[in-house]
Amino acid sequence: FEIAEVMEISTGRVSQIKKSAIANLRSFISNAQQVG
C-alpha cells in the first residue's frame, strides 16, 4: 500500500464512522426527548 492510499481509506472510514455516530446520537437524543 502507498501511504497516501492508506490515509485516504482511513480518512474515508473516519468520516463514515463520524456520520453514523452523529446519526445514532441524534436519534438517541430525539428518543430521550420524546420519552422525557
DSSP 11-22: HHHHHHHHHHHH
Decide: pTM greater than 0.95: no
* The pLDDT of residue 1: 65
Q: Enter the C-alpha cell of residue 15.
A: 468520516
Q: How far apart are the first and last CA of the chain?
A: 50
Residue with cell 420524546: 34
Residue with cell 422525557: 36
Task: Please write the tens of the pLDDT for every residue from 1-36.
Answer: 688 788 787 888 889 999 999 999 999 999 999 886
Q: Enter the C-alpha cell of residue 9.
A: 481509506
* The pLDDT of residue 29: 94
* The pLDDT of residue 25: 96
